[in-house]
Each structure stands twice: as structure tokens, then as C-alpha cells.
Amino acid sequence: MDPYRVIEVKQSIFEDNNQDAERLRQQMKEEKTFLINLMSSPGSGKTTMLTQLIPRLKDELKIGIMEADIDSDVDAETISHQGVKVIQLHTGGMCHLDADMTRQGVMELGTKELDLVILENVGNLVCPAEFDTGAAMNMMILSVPEGHDKPLKYPLVFTVCDTLIINKIDVLPYFDFDMDKVTEFARRRNPDIRIFPICAKTGEGMDELAAYLKERAQNLK
């Protein structure tokens, strides 16, 4: 008998992850905890945006934050001063979180009593978009200095996100960033994408974003 056997597999490599993600989504739904996966490039202002968002929501929603990074705990340290539950996840060199890592984070954080959990994914516009984390909502930040052409260059992340935050609008006068163009390019990827222009430094636009996220989280109940 030939010692070699060929096994037909025909399975997407994302299939295991997609199943893990679906299980986690179901679990969070039963716990009535709204999980947001927040993605962006490094330096677009994810953590700063959270320091503006948390004070606007924490009286009405019990919030938990999961900070994912390759290394360090600088973001978790910043967020810990906001008076919400926070944990730091280390991906150990990997450029993204998958559903199983997210599930471990959720267990570590203890989400049963929480209304809203925000997962701050690794700063990267490529890999995090490919791995479903099991979040109920994908949200991303694009900051003005990065340029309005990013939906053309990183189409997948704009396709999987239903909410796009444009941060650092205070520096618009100094950059060739075209708000109409970014809207057009993003809608090409996702016709229903919601766009919130904000400045996380001054808080401009944050009330609208906070109200929208509160409504989404409460709709889960």
C-alpha cells in the first residue's frame, strides 16, 4: 500500500476563526454586552478618542476596554485613569487579534456585568480586517494626516467597518485632505458606512459619536 495519502480539505483558512467569532458573538449577545472592534493605523488617535468617549458614556453604560498591542502597556495605563475596567492583551509579535484571542480577553476582563466593551485592535489597516474578532460592530479611525486616499489603498478594512471616524479635523487647513473624496472612496467600499468627523484632542464631534454608540449599545437590550 502506498504510504502517502492525499486528504481533500477544501476549507478556507479563516473558517475556524469564523466559527470562533460566531460563538463569541452569540455569547456576548446573551450577556447583552455590546462588543466593538476598533481598528486604525498606529498614531491615528484610538486611545485619545477613547479618553474622550469614556467620560461621555460611563455614567450610563458600564464599560470595559481591551487594549491589544504587540508589546507594552502604555495604552492600558492611559485608559486606567478613566475609571473603567481595562486589560492589556499582548499578541506576541502578531499583527492582529483573532476570535480566540478576543475570547480569552473577554474572559480575563469579565464582561458579564458590562454593557459596552471596546477592543482596541493592533494599529494596522491590513491584517485586523481579515480576522473576524466576534465583535458586534467594526469601527475604524482614519486621521487627516494619513490622507483621503486610504479607502483606495486598504479597501478591506473600509468594507468590514460600518462606522468610520475621521479624526484630527483640527489640522484640516494644513493638509490636502478632501472630506468629499474620502466619503466617496469609503462609500465605494461600503455604501452604508456612517462617518463621524471628530477631533479627539478638543472633543469636537465627540457628542454625536457618543450618542450614536450609546444608541447602538442600548439597542442590544
Give the residue, chosen from 137, 156, 172, 179, that forms a contact with other proteins under the rule CB under 8 A.
156
Q: Which is nearer to other proteins, 17 or 88 (CB)?
A: 17
Give the residue, chosen from 23, 31, 95, 181, that forms a contact with other proteins under the rule CB under 8 A.
95
Q: Which is nearer to other proteins, 98 or 120 (CB)?
A: 98
- What's the min distance (Å) between Cβ of 131 and other proteins? 7
Q: Please name the amino acid found at residue 121.
A: N
Residue of 132, 100, 118 lying closest to 46 (CA atoms)? 118
Q: Which is nearer to other proteins, 101 or 135 (CB)?
A: 101
The SS3 of residue 184 is helix
- What's the min distance (Å) between Cβ of 23 and other proteins? 16
53 vs 151: CA distance, rounded Å: 25
- Which x/- pattern, by CB under 8 A, does the window 159-198 give for other proteins? -----------------------------x----------
- What's the min distance (Å) between Cβ of 197 and other proteins? 24
Cβ atoms 56, 206 nearer than 8 A: yes
The alpha helices in 41-200, defined as continuous H runs, are 46-57, 74-80, 99-109, 127-130, 150-153, 155-160, 179-189
Q: Which is nearer to other proteins, 104 or 202 (CB)?
A: 104
Tell me the C-alpha to C-alpha distance, in Å, between residue 198 and each of 37, 168, 175.
18, 7, 16
- Interactions with other proteins, residue window 112-131 (CB under 8 A): 126-127, 130-131
- What's the min distance (Å) between Cβ of 65 and other proteins? 23
Sheet holding 137-143, edge to edge: 85-90, 63-69, 116-120, 34-40, 137-143, 163-167, 194-197
The SS3 of residue 95 is coil
Give the residue, chosen from 32, 56, 82, 94, that forms a contact with other proteins under the rule CB under 8 A.
94
Rg (CA), the chain: 18
* Stretch of 48-56, 90-98, 106-114, 133-141 contacting other proteins, by CB under 8 A: 90-98
116 vs 63: CA distance, rounded Å: 5
- Which x/- pattern, by CB under 8 A, does the window 4-43 give for other proteins? xxxxxxxxxxxxxx--------------------------
Kindly list the residues in this chain that would bind other proteins in the complex (CB under 8 A): 3-17, 93-96, 98, 126-127, 130-131, 156, 188
